[in-house]
Amino acid sequence: MKIGILQPGHIPPQMEDMGDYDAFFRRLLGGYGFDFVTYDVEAGDVPSDPHACDGWLITGSKHGAYEDHPWIAPLEALIRAIHAAGVPLIGVCFGHQIIAQALGGKVEKFAGGWSVGRKTYHIEGHDYPLNAWHQDQVVELPEGAEVVGSSDFCRYAALSYGGTIYTVQPHPEYDGTFIGRLMEERGKGVVPQPLMDEARTHLNEPVAQKALADRFAAVLKGEPA
C-alpha cells in the first residue's frame, strides 16, 4: 500500500538530527507493510487526485489551520475529495484540526491555553497516555464527525468520519525525548514555564505509541475497528 504523507511544515532546523515530521510516521508505522511518499504541502506540493495514494496521513505543523496560507485551500479541497472518495485518511494534531475545518468544523486557539507533554486520553474505551503539544483545538464539530476520544483538557481529542477518516489531537509519533527538545527549542517564552516544568517530570514515562499505530494501520488498511 502506498501512503501519502501530507506534511504542512518542517522540524526546526536545530532539531533536524531527529528527522522531519514524515520520518516520525515512517518509524511509527514501520512494519505494517506500507510504502510512503511525502508531499511538501508547505511548499505547495498538494496533489489533487484522492486516488494518487491508497491512503493518506496529515502530520502536525507549527501553522494554524485558520491561518492564511496559499496551500490551505488546496489541502482542504484534497481532504474533501478524499472524504468523498472513501479513501482512508489519518490526521494528527494540525492534521486533526485541518480535516475538521475542511469538513465544516471550527478550529481556534483554545481559551484554556496549552497542553504539553504526557496526558491521559480516553479513546474508544481505553485510557492511553500520549504526548501533547498544542494550543489550537477543534471547538465545533463538522457534520458527520463522531467523537471517539477526549481528555480533561480536550473535548474533541479523537474523531472518526464514517470509518475511513480517523484523527487525533495528541502525538503518538512523539516520545519524551522529542517533547523535551521541543520545550527547549520552541517552548521558551511561548509555553508557560509551569506547564513545561510539570511536563519534564513525565518525559521518561511510557506512552501508548503502539496502540495508536495499530489503530492507524487498521484504518489505512480498511480493516474493521
Residue positions annotated with a catalytic role: 93, 171, 173
The one-letter amino acid at 216: F
The secondary element (H helix, E strand) that includes residue 124 is none
b/e per residue, 153-168, with b = 16+ CB within 10 A? bbebbbbbbeebbbbb
CB 93 within 8 A of CB 133: yes
CA dist 83 → 76, 144, 213 (Å) = 11, 11, 21
Q: Which three three-digit cell numbers place residue 202?
A: 513525565
Amino acid of residue 58:
I
Cα dihedral 131, 181, 36, 115 sign: positive
